[in-house]
Amino acid sequence: MKDVSFGQFYPVDSFVHRLDPRLKILFLIAYIVAIFLASNFYGLAACAAVLVLIVIFARIPFGKVLRAIRGVTFLVLFTAVLNVLFYSGETVYWEWGIFCISFEGIIFSLFLALRLVLLVVCSSMLTYTTTPVSLTDGVESLLTPLKWIRIPVHEIALIMSIALRFIPILMDETSRIKNAQMARGADFESRGLGKKIKATIPILVPLLLSAFRRADELGDAMDARCYTGGKHRTKYKKLRFTWRDAVAFLLGAALIAGVVVMKIYLPAPY
Amino acid sequence: MKAIEFADVSFRYEEGGPLAVSHLNLSVEEGEFVAVLGHNGSGKSTLARLSNGLLTPDAGSVRVFGQTVNEKNLFDVRSQVGVVFQNPDNQTVATIVEDDVAFGAENVGLAREEIGKRIDFALRAVGMEEYRHATVARLSGGQKQRIAIAGVLALMPKVVILDESTAMLDPRGRREIVDVVTRLNKERGITVILITHFMEEALLADRAIVMNRGELVMEGAPADIFERREELVTYNLALPHIGIICEKLRAGGMDVAYTLDAAVLAKEIAKCVS
Amino acid sequence: MRIVAEHLFYTYNPRSPFETAALKDVSLTIEEGEFFGIIGHTGSGKSTFVQHLNGLLRLPSSLKKYRPKKPRKGDVSRPKTVLTVGEFDLADKKTDFRALRRNVGMVFQYPEYQLFAETVAEDVAFGLKNFSEEKLSPEQIAAAVKAALEVVGLDYEEMKDKSPFELSGGQKRRVAIAGVIVTRPEVLVLDEPAAGLDPLGKREVMELLHKLHREWCKTVVIVSHDMDEISENCTRAAVFADGRVRYVLPPRELFRHAAELGEMGLDVPLTAKLCAQLEEAGVHVDCDYTTEDFCRAVLAAWREKKEGAR
């Protein structure tokens, strides 16, 4: 049987995997702030070092990390090239019209590219180490204050988690329907937009029907188990901070503090 | 005490459409194990949905432990009458087994410790304790249905209705489910209504009823029901495999009892032949 | 068309934590004209195997980008994989897989869930239009659709303009089967063709398959875990367990291995159970485990005894 690995979750047991999802989300936000606060390579180096530590502690193979970067290679290169061409620095190597290549330009675009790479790797570390479900739990818990302004946080989180639960089922179903139609000679490789759209109808119609049927049945099953929305509802699983979370929290705080200190006391490297 | 009582209940899905259930009178005693048979479209699933207020009758009334089902007591009725449905993939809300079992108990607002106890109880009752932290998607069909039963049991219902819950399972999965509900009935005194189109499963019940076009057309001990085979055929119900063998042997002139128990039939044949 | 598989291996999600070996050295031959059964639990590799038969799953060597790997140190050398269906060599990238699919019809589990068109006739014609080389005239299409619907036991005039979604469950399944056999495939493969139907529906579907086997498709392969279905219908059956083929035998011999099958968590048909219980009581019944033959054998033994008593 095919095992659909949804999202990016990489199933190993590690220190990072066991952290509270809320902390991981907050840490990611803090990390992004740190990256953008960092104004010199010392700051970024500190960020990168922390990230390397995270990767090691999360026991994610290096290849996986590279794969995360590969997805944004184009974006990184594109912005880097633009930056190199348009940054007006002092040590100019080459000039043509509005374009100019300078030492400062190269350094600056390297800096930005590094920032982007760190950002992407750190975000993907969150999805590599956190199951979709605990991610939604974390989001729900963090958004709780919004309940006071009458935003249905519980419902949103439930919808998210049900969607996540059904995605593998629907993906499986899609490939099943696709196989069945391919066995009837359907051609999904033909070129041309019109043809492509037409080719998806034999998949989309059965898929939608199936999704509606499932939604209907799930609705009944939830009703039958006394579901009436978030009111009066209790939660069996409470997210809890542990010593691991405390360590990670301190690490995050130290990182931001370090970056700020470097920003103030160390000169820009260019 | 009567667990469920249908008094002259009629229901149709759309106005002007055919009656899915028509003037149905039926009562199920507390602690009873009732099998409901009928071909597709005979109204047996509608019966399940009327029993816990998922559907409301157009005429007549449905009473659960003496209480007429209405808008106000739905919560109460549903925690007393649990329904398990057909498709093992479409009943679980959560990804992890224990989270899913907890769902119903969370809905009625129980305290954490109590929910934990309910999960223990429900998983033990269906023999799935070891799978507490497993991912639902990786279980077999039979195991998924056992989790669905556990999810209902976490509400401590007095009645469990299985609405064709074995139809999509392989023989092994079917056996698992039938074993579980038989145990629930015998050991814990839970009232069981098993809706199925497999006659072999109905054999284990105290009483079997047959539905056809929304009406209750036969009622009695399962063995007696199967004796009336000409009648069963008119309701589009196929004889179980073993029944066909009995018939063929009898048609050949052999004097074997009409039985649905393989061991009994083997003994009968051995007696005739040796 | 004869189906020959030798040393078939298949792994899902290779080199990832989800890696699972679904086929581990499967060799199996299905002769033309057989009504062949494939038995096994979910995850035994049976579905993976049948998906190879019409190229939905491909051997690595049949893919365009395939380049034979240089053997590395420590590699276990595997015997050569062979997979042919009639004259089609499925290990060859030059094989016309469209033509193969036309000749090997595949009916998946719950095939009614793949219906999509507005009318029954359109849905049945889908495969026909996809597979034909030149454009067919409306008359040609109508004739083929009519023939396909009629062979599955549906009335063309009554059905053709109906929406497939307003039919009953059994009718939907028939329409779905018609949509596969409309191209007159030589081999018809069905995954759990009777799943989810009530006993009467099951019996009707099996009768339909026999009719198709007689009149329409030379070879029929069914995947099933209902042992009664296998013993009643199949000329031979293969038992899959854990990605390997354990037995390839006619039901008559296969179901003598009740103990071994039991170890794999598989059942035997009711007739085989009765035979085993009779054996214990000292009565030997020699039959091929179909209901028909079992009753014949029992009645014969009974008559013999009566004669002897006289």
Mutate to test the interface with A, among B73, B77, B95 (most CBs of A within 10 A): B95
Cα distances from A68 to residues A10, A81, B84, C112, C141, in angstroms, run 13, 21, 42, 40, 50
Helix (H) or strand (E) holding B245: helix B241-251
pLDDT of residue B204: 87
CA–CA distance, B202 with B221 (Å, rounded to integer)? 10
Contact C179/A184, CB-based, under 8 Å?
Answer: yes
In a domain, C309, yes or no: no
Chain A residues closer than 8 Å to B86 by CB? 217
Using DSSP, state whether B154 is helix, strand or coil.
coil
Residue C99 burial (CB count, 10 A): 13
pLDDT tens profile C133-171: 888 899 999 999 999 999 999 999 999 999 999 998 889
The chains in contact with chain C, meaning 3 or more Cβ pairs closer than 8 Å, are A, B
In a domain, C310, yes or no: no
Tell whether C273 is within 8 A of chain B (Cβ): yes
Nearest CA in chain C to A201: C116
In a domain, B273, yes or no: no
Nearest CA in chain B to A131: B95
Residues C281 and C219 placed together within one structural domain of the fold: no
Closest CA–CA distance from residue B112 to any residue of chain A (Å): 5
CA–CA distance, A31 with A34 (Å, rounded to integer)? 5
Cα distances from C254 to residues A190, A227, B14, C3, in angstroms, run 46, 50, 52, 21
Residues C88 and C12 placed together within one structural domain of the fold: yes
Residues C165 and C194 placed together within one structural domain of the fold: yes
Contact A16, A57 (CB under 8 A): yes
Q: Which residues contact B170 (CB under 8 A, 6 or more apart)?
A: B141, B142, C41, C42, C225, C226
Chain C residues closer than 8 Å to A186 by CB? 126, 130
The owner of tokens 């499986």 is A172
Chain B residues closer than 8 Å to A238 by CB? 112
Closest CA–CA distance from residue C128 to any residue of chain A (Å): 8
Using DSSP, state whether A37 is helix, strand or coil.
helix
Tell whether B87 is within 8 A of chain A (Cβ): yes
Residue from C223, C210, C219, C238 nearest C85 by CA: C219
Using DSSP, state whether B103 is helix, strand or coil.
helix
The owner of tokens 């991981």 is A24
CA–CA distance, A238 with A138 (Å, rounded to integer)? 10
Contact C119, C160 (CB under 8 A): yes
Q: Is the dihedral of CA C259, C261, C264, C270 positive or negative?
A: negative
Residue from C90, C42, C36 nearest C221 by CA: C36
A with C: how many residue pairs have Cβ under 8 Å apart? 72
Residue B183 belongs to a domain with what CATH number? 3.40.50.300
Nearest CA in chain C to B262: C274
Considering CB atoms only, which of C277, C295, C298 is closest to B263?
C277
The owner of tokens 């079917």 is B174
Residues C215 and C286 placed together within one structural domain of the fold: no
pLDDT of residue A4: 39
Residues C176 and C274 placed together within one structural domain of the fold: no
pLDDT tens profile C72-120: 666 666 788 899 999 999 988 888 988 999 999 999 999 999 999 999 9
Query: In three state form, how does the secondary structure of A186-209 look?
Result: CCCCCCCHHHHHHHHHHHHHHHHH
Closest CA–CA distance from residue A15 to any residue of chain C (Å): 18
Residue C226 belongs to a domain with what CATH number? 3.40.50.300
In a domain, C129, yes or no: yes
Chain B residues closer than 8 Å to C198 by CB? 39-40, 197, 238
Residues 118-157 of B with CB under 8 A from A: 119, 136-138, 148, 151-152, 155
In a domain, C107, yes or no: yes
In a domain, B248, yes or no: no
Considering CB atoms only, which of A11, A179, A185 is closest to C130?
A185
Q: How many residues does chain A have?
A: 270
Helix (H) or strand (E) holding A34: helix A21-37
Residues C232 and C280 placed together within one structural domain of the fold: no
DSSP string, C122-182: HHHHHHHHHH-SSPPPHHHHHHHHHHHHHHTT--HHHHTTS-GGGS-HHHHHHHHHHHHHT
The per-residue pLDDT string of chain C (310 residues; one tens digit each, 9 = 90 and over) reads 899 999 999 988 777 666 788 999 999 999 999 999 999 888 889 999 999 998 899 888 777 776 666 666 666 667 888 999 999 999 888 889 889 999 999 999 999 999 999 999 999 999 999 998 888 899 999 999 999 999 999 999 999 999 999 998 889 999 999 999 999 999 999 999 998 888 888 889 999 999 999 999 999 999 998 899 999 999 999 999 999 999 999 999 999 998 899 888 888 999 999 999 998 888 888 899 999 999 999 999 998 888 877 6
Chain A residues closer than 8 Å to B89 by CB? 169, 214
Amino acid at A231: K
Contact C299/B253, CB-based, under 8 Å?
Answer: yes
CA–CA distance, B269 with A122 (Å, rounded to integer)? 73
> pLDDT band for position A184 (50/70/90)?
very high
Residues C91 and C107 placed together within one structural domain of the fold: yes
DSSP string, B256-270: ----S-HHHHHHHHH
Chain C residues closer than 8 Å to B170 by CB? 41-42, 225-226
Task: Give Dmax (Cα) for chain B.
Answer: 66
In a domain, C136, yes or no: yes
CA–CA distance, C205 with C194 (Å, rounded to integer)? 6
Q: Which residues contact C56 (CB under 8 A, 6 or more apart)?
A: A179, A182, A183, C106
Residues C263 and C274 placed together within one structural domain of the fold: no
The chains in contact with chain B, meaning 3 or more Cβ pairs closer than 8 Å, are A, C
In a domain, B236, yes or no: no
Domain boundaries, position B31: 2-221
Tell whether C196 is within 8 A of chain B (Cβ): yes
pLDDT tens profile A58-96: 888 888 888 778 778 888 888 888 888 887 777 778 777
Considering CB atoms only, which of B93, B137, B138 is closest to A162?
B93
Alpha helices in A88-152 (DSSP H): 103-129, 132-143
Residues 33-92 of B with CB under 8 A from C: 39-41
How large is the ipTM? Answer: 0.89
Structure tokens at B60: 């007549």
Amino acid at C56: L
DSSP string, C241-307: ETTEEEEEE-HHHHTT-HHHHHHTT----HHHHHHHHHHHTT------S-HHHHHHHHHHHHHHHHH
CA–CA distance, C235 with C223 (Å, rounded to integer)? 13
Amino acid at B241: H
Considering CB atoms only, which of B167, B248, B266 is closest to C291?
B248
Residues C280 and C193 placed together within one structural domain of the fold: no
Cα distances from B80 to residues A15, A233, B32, in angstroms, run 43, 18, 15
Statement: residue A7 has pLDDT above 70:
no
Chain A residues closer than 8 Å to B170 by CB? none
Amino acid at C177: I
Statement: residue A269 has pLDDT above 80:
no
Radius of gyration for chain C, computed over Cα atoms and rounded to the nearest angstrom: 22
Tell whether A209 is within 8 A of chain C (Cβ): yes
Mutate to test the interface with B, among A5, A236, A240 (most CBs of B within 10 A): A236
Contact C98/A201, CB-based, under 8 Å?
Answer: no
CA–CA distance, A167 with A6 (Å, rounded to integer)? 8
Domain boundaries, position C285: 269-301
Residues of chain B with pLDDT under 50: none
- Which string of b and e fits B190-203 if b means at least 16 CB within 10 Å? bbbbbbbbbbbbbb
Contact C270/B241, CB-based, under 8 Å?
Answer: yes
Chain B residues closer than 8 Å to C282 by CB? 270, 274
Contact B269/C42, CB-based, under 8 Å?
Answer: no
Cα distances from C256 to residues C40, C253, C260, C272, in angstroms, run 17, 6, 9, 8
The chains in contact with chain A, meaning 3 or more Cβ pairs closer than 8 Å, are B, C
CA–CA distance, B48 with B42 (Å, rounded to integer)? 12
Question: Rounded to the nearest 5°, which phi and psi values hold at A234?
Answer: -110, 170
In a domain, B245, yes or no: no
Tell whether A202 is within 8 A of chain C (Cβ): yes
Contact C281, B266 (CB under 8 A): yes
Contact A202/C126, CB-based, under 8 Å?
Answer: yes
In a domain, C306, yes or no: no
Considering CB atoms only, which of A1, A184, A201 is closest to C42?
A1
Statement: residue A212 has pLDDT above 90:
yes
Tell whether C207 is within 8 A of chain B (Cβ): no
Chain A residues closer than 8 Å to C114 by CB? 177, 180-181, 202, 206
Structure tokens at C293: 């033959």
Chain B residues closer than 8 Å to A132 by CB? 95
Could you give the count of Cα atoms lying within 13 Å of A115 in the half-sphere of its Cβ? 19
pLDDT of residue A2: 37
Contact C128, C144 (CB under 8 A): yes
Query: In three state form, how does the secondary structure of B225-236 look?
Result: HHHCHHHHHHCC
Contact B152/A133, CB-based, under 8 Å?
Answer: no
Contact A114, A130 (CB under 8 A): no
Contact B245/C277, CB-based, under 8 Å?
Answer: no
Mutate to test the interface with A, among C114, C123, C167 (most CBs of A within 10 A): C114
Using DSSP, state whether C78 is helix, strand or coil.
coil
Question: Rounded to the nearest 5°, which phi and psi values hold at B237?
Answer: -105, 135
Structure tokens at C43: 């995850």
The mean pLDDT of chain A is 83
pLDDT tens profile B25-38: 999 999 999 999 99
Residues C161 and C278 placed together within one structural domain of the fold: no
Statement: residue A204 has pLDDT above 80:
yes
- How many domains would you assign to chain B? 1
Residues C190 and C132 placed together within one structural domain of the fold: yes
Contact A165/B93, CB-based, under 8 Å?
Answer: yes
In a domain, B214, yes or no: yes
Contact B202, B37 (CB under 8 A): yes
In a domain, B255, yes or no: no
- How many domains would you assign to chain C? 2
Chain C residues closer than 8 Å to A168 by CB? none
Say if strands B81-84 and B159-163 run parallel, antiparallel, or are unpaired: parallel
Structure tokens at A94: 């080459």
Of the two residues A17 and C220, the one the predictor is more confident about is C220
Q: Which residues contact C292 (CB under 8 A, 6 or more apart)?
A: none
Tell whether B250 is within 8 A of chain C (Cβ): no
Tell whether B248 is within 8 A of chain C (Cβ): yes
Contact C126/A183, CB-based, under 8 Å?
Answer: no
Q: Which residues contact A101 (CB under 8 A, 6 or more apart)?
A: A84, A85, A92, A93, A94, A95
pLDDT of residue A233: 82
Residues C286 and C200 placed together within one structural domain of the fold: no
CA–CA distance, B19 with B13 (Å, rounded to integer)? 8
